Chain A
Amino acid sequence: MQRSLLIDPAKCTSCLQCEMACSFEHTGAFNPARSRIKIYEFEHGRYAIPFTCTQCEEAWCLHACPVEAITLNAQTGAKEVHQDLCVGCKVCTIACPFGAVNYDKETKTVVKCDLCGGDPKCAEACPTDAITYVDADWTGYDRMREYAVRTHLPSFSS
């Protein structure tokens, strides 16, 4: 079963545990400035929205890379940047419609979410389940179930 990150902004409290976990996994330091997942806040914190790479099937970043430094991890479905191959040309950052690939001044390469090899640390760190790692074929499962209960069996609602 392939899994993907499922993000529910309504549950996000903007604590940034995810950003710290991501940066720690990839750089060894707690450093949100180098996190591959970002939390965006609006209206004095009323809205907090986690955003990261969705691992497109037809990945623009992968196709744009002139040195084939971005490849598919068949196991996880992640599009991974090989930092030893990346030349830092940043064409992929232009190709990505979502801005999810970014240049890292420390490594002088681009970085993006790699699903931590199948054990995403952001999801592990999230205290409110705003970020979960679920069956990629059924990302809507819980939400559908919730609506099914709400519309047909209100008494089952938690």
Chain B
Amino acid sequence: MAWQRKILRVDLSSGSVATEPLNMDWAFQYIGERGLATKYLWENMDPKVDAMSPENVLIFATGPLTGTMASTSGRYAVITKGPLTNAIACSNSGGKFGADLKYAGYDLLLLSGKSPQPVYLHIVDDQVEILPADELWGRSVWETEAWIRSQQQNPHLKIACIGVAGERGVYYSCIVNDLHRAAGRSGVGAVMGSKNLKAIAVQGTKGVTVADPKKFMQVTYEMKKLLENDPGRKGLTKLGTNAMMETMQEFGGLPTRNFQQVQFDGYDKVGARGMRVRKPNGHVNLITNKACFGCTIACGRIAHIDKEHFTIVNRKEYWHASGGLEYETAYAFGPMVGVDDIDACTFAGFLMNEHGMDPISFGVTLAAAMELYEMGVITREDTDGVELNFGNAEALTIMAEKTGKYEGFGQVLGLGSKRLCEKYGHPELFMGVKGQEFAGYDSRALQGMGLGYATSNRGACHLKHDTFEVDMDDQSGNGKAKPCKTSQDFVAMIDSTGLCLFPASAWGTTEFQQQIDAACEGDWNEQRILECGERTWNLERQFNLAAGLTAADDTLPPRLLEVPAPGGTAKGKVCELDKMLPEYYAERGWTSEGVPTEHTLNRLGLT
């Protein structure tokens, strides 16, 4: 019930495929998806191993609510050790792939080893095959999906795969499913590539049941109604996440030109409004909105590029619609690199999906390269003759394609910002934490965001905590530790259910709890589910400590700690991490060195 109670183990070195019962003790402690997969990772690998070695384990995990009628039930998580951060990687994705993996009968898919040849995994319910992928190696995500469907003569297959970026070890390559949804961050695509695994194609026909169907239907309908009437939900449906562009511009928290500025003149051209503007030739960027599996919000955008635009005027293969700009992509390809051309940003976004790369990390890495170029550290000789100045829309799209195809200077950009900045002798210009690049929020304006970035177990991330409201209310570092800790546990709980973070605008702990309790056997009260989240957070921390990370990694770049914000509502402020971090460790029950105390570990059953 809710769980399929079965996991699939595939060892790519030996080619062995086996199923085993899900460890229900662990399911009761970690719920599913992110939490449960973290436990399986912890028990199945040494955190010290090289992320790109065969000893790394790659887990695809669904939650007990994945594939049910609860709204936003399409999530799955990819848990592994990330090459970008050398810490735990925890990326989740929507689309339709996750639900089909669950419907095929598996809560988790655990991959180990390395295949001697390129392969893809073909799963139709109980039938699991490792098939040759020689013909697929070197192909894009979009080509791969079409090839497998055609080869298998099966239009029902849902496919998650990597592009050339993942094959060649671009540090922030991702796993793309359903053409334009992705487990995007920390380089999980490179781990898949290092295992010579090109794709996972799955069709599931077994369905999912829940413990108390009648109650579950009643509760999920109530929750969908609540979500329907929520103003936050309405905004997401109508404008998508890119409405955030305007909010951040007004607030002065919009990272611009590698965080040299906090506002961007061209923000409106690449924000939600820019997507709706009708150009003189009649072209409008946005076509419609689109849902992931089970989602009653539908924040996803479907967009197309103006056929007359320089990027595709001679490239008919891009004259179609695909996934449009989300806020993070728009920030990374807009303000961060100083570009205000929405068609160029959209095209670069298409390229990210087509070649399988994380747009945040790519944009932030490019921004660092642009700053180094303007400083004269990088020259045209390095960049294959491309003028790499801020605001150059052509450079953005050329470099996106070069990186996706692993050509020329794209190979350097594929290192990620941290390694690129170190290579050129300016490590201080890396804008991120633990090797992972920042999302589109400046932590001088949003202090709790700074604390969340610094302490996120997967490196800089805006999705593993939620202090947005307290940050907007109070721009000091006061009182941020507790909401940061509490929301991290809350989000870890949501990430462990199979649901998305976004309904949290309408649903609190109670609303999630009721749905979990109706679906899963046993008594799932609010305290218990939040404790599952806290347990997950602490186990991720344990993984990182065992991998060699320390409190010294919980920090921010000097630009945010020492250089006052040049404008916006937080003008003159720096991020007060030195004040927040000790409070946060205490709040967590960790030592001043950021290590969970014996008491904390005992309380959470982690000893």
State the A residues within 8 Å of B (CB): 13-17, 20-21, 23-24, 27-34, 43-46, 48, 125, 127-128
Starting from the known contacts A13-B289, A24-B213, A44-B321, 11 additional A-B residue pairs (CB-CB under 8 Å) come to A15-B291, A15-B296, A17-B294, A20-B69, A30-B69, A31-B208, A33-B203, A44-B322, A45-B302, A45-B321, A46-B320
Is B431 close to A, CB under 8 A? no
- B179 and A45 within 8 A (CB): yes
Contact check: which of B178, B206, B323 meets A31 at CB < 8 Å?
Answer: B206
**B53-82: which residues lie under 8 A (CB-CB) from chain A?**
67-69, 71
* Binary flags per residue of B143-178, CB closer than 8 Å to A gives 1, else 0: 000000000000010000000000000000000001
Is B204 close to A, CB under 8 A? yes
Residues of A within 8 A of B217 (CB): 24
Q: A14-B291, A44-B320 are in contact. Are A28 and B209 (CB under 8 A)?
A: yes
Q: A29-B207, A30-B69, A46-B321 are in contact. Are A13 and B298 (CB under 8 A)?
A: yes
Q: A44-B321, A46-B288, A125-B69 are in contact. Are A16 and B293 (CB under 8 A)?
A: yes
What CA separation (Å) do A69 and B302 show in the bound complex? 44
- A34 and B69 within 8 A (CB): no
What CA separation (Å) do A28 and B295 show in the bound complex? 21
Contact check: which of A24, A29, A44 meets B302 at CB < 8 Å?
Answer: A44
Q: Looking at chain B, what size class is its interface with the partner chain?
A: 35 or more
What CA separation (Å) do A33 and B103 show in the bound complex? 9
Contact check: which of A13, A20, A24 meets B291 at CB < 8 Å?
Answer: A13
* Binary flags per residue of B297-311, CB closer than 8 Å to A gives 1, else 0: 010101000000000
- A34 and B205 within 8 A (CB): yes
Expressed in whole angstroms, the minimum distance between the Cβ of B415 and any Cβ of chain A is 30
What CA separation (Å) do A27 and B208 show in the bound complex? 11
What CA separation (Å) do A17 and B178 show in the bound complex? 18
State the B residues within 8 Å of A (CB): 67-69, 71, 96, 99, 103, 156, 178-180, 203-210, 213, 217, 224, 228, 287-296, 298, 300, 302, 320-323
- A24 and B69 within 8 A (CB): yes
What CA separation (Å) do A27 and B290 show in the bound complex? 28
Residues of A within 8 A of B321 (CB): 43-46
- A16 and B96 within 8 A (CB): yes
What CA separation (Å) do A24 and B204 show in the bound complex? 16
Residues of A within 8 A of B103 (CB): 31-33
Residues of B within 8 A of A46 (CB): 287-288, 302, 320-321
Residues of B within 8 A of A31 (CB): 103, 205-208
Chain A residue with Cβ nearest B224 = A127
- B296 and A33 within 8 A (CB): no
- Pairs across A and B, CB under 8 Å, 9 listed: A14-B290, A16-B294, A17-B294, A23-B207, A30-B68, A34-B207, A44-B322, A45-B180, A127-B224
What CA separation (Å) do A34 and B103 show in the bound complex? 11
What CA separation (Å) do A21 and B296 show in the bound complex? 13
Question: Interface centre among A21, A34, A45, by most B CB within 10 Å?
Answer: A45
Q: A44-B322, A44-B323 are in contact. Are A13 and B290 (CB under 8 A)?
A: yes
Contact check: which of A30, A44, A48 meets B207 at CB < 8 Å?
Answer: A30
What CA separation (Å) do A104 and B96 show in the bound complex? 22
Chain B residue with Cβ nearest A12 = B291
Chain A residue with Cβ nearest B320 = A43
Chain A residue with Cβ nearest B96 = A16
Expressed in whole angstroms, the minimum distance between the Cβ of A78 and any Cβ of chain B is 22
Residues of B within 8 A of A17 (CB): 69, 294, 296
Residues of A within 8 A of B289 (CB): 13
- B322 and A28 within 8 A (CB): no
Residues of B within 8 A of A30 (CB): 67-69, 207-210
What CA separation (Å) do A113 and B290 show in the bound complex? 26
Residues of B within 8 A of A45 (CB): 178-180, 290, 300, 302, 321, 323
Expressed in whole angstroms, the minimum distance between the Cβ of A106 and any Cβ of chain B is 9
Expressed in whole angstroms, the minimum distance between the Cβ of A155 and any Cβ of chain B is 22
Residues of A within 8 A of B71 (CB): 127
- A15 and B68 within 8 A (CB): no
What CA separation (Å) do A21 and B69 show in the bound complex? 7
- B208 and A29 within 8 A (CB): yes
Contact check: which of B180, B294, B296 meets A44 at CB < 8 Å?
Answer: B180
What CA separation (Å) do A125 and B320 show in the bound complex? 30
What CA separation (Å) do A13 and B103 show in the bound complex? 21
Expressed in whole angstroms, the minimum distance between the Cβ of B359 and any Cβ of chain A is 17
- B293 and A15 within 8 A (CB): yes
Expressed in whole angstroms, the minimum distance between the Cβ of B178 and any Cβ of chain A is 8
What CA separation (Å) do A29 and B217 show in the bound complex? 12
Question: Interface centre among B203, B294, B322, by most A CB within 10 Å?
Answer: B294
Task: List the 5 shortest-distance A-B pairs measured between CB atoms, nearest first.
Answer: A31-B207, A29-B207, A33-B205, A15-B291, A46-B321
What CA separation (Å) do A48 and B300 show in the bound complex? 14
Q: A44-B180, A44-B322, A46-B288 are in contact. Are A27 and B207 (CB under 8 A)?
A: yes
Expressed in whole angstroms, the minimum distance between the Cβ of A122 and any Cβ of chain B is 12
Residues of A within 8 A of B99 (CB): 16, 32
What CA separation (Å) do A29 and B228 show in the bound complex? 24
What CA separation (Å) do A32 and B96 show in the bound complex? 11
Residues of A within 8 A of B292 (CB): 15
- B69 and A15 within 8 A (CB): no
What CA separation (Å) do A43 and B228 show in the bound complex? 28
Residues of B within 8 A of A128 (CB): 298
Question: Interface centre among B179, B287, B291, B298, by most A CB within 10 Å?
Answer: B291
Question: Interface centre among B178, B292, B296, B300, by most A CB within 10 Å?
Answer: B296
What CA separation (Å) do A46 and B291 show in the bound complex? 11
- A33 and B290 within 8 A (CB): no
Expressed in whole angstroms, the minimum distance between the Cβ of A111 and any Cβ of chain B is 13
Chain A residue with Cβ nearest B67 = A30
Expressed in whole angstroms, the minimum distance between the Cβ of B98 and any Cβ of chain A is 12
Expressed in whole angstroms, the minimum distance between the Cβ of A68 and any Cβ of chain B is 30
What CA separation (Å) do A128 and B69 show in the bound complex? 15
What CA separation (Å) do A97 and B526 show in the bound complex? 52
Expressed in whole angstroms, the minimum distance between the Cβ of B73 and any Cβ of chain A is 8
What CA separation (Å) do A23 and B203 show in the bound complex? 16
Expressed in whole angstroms, the minimum distance between the Cβ of A120 and any Cβ of chain B is 15
What CA separation (Å) do A99 and B65 show in the bound complex? 31
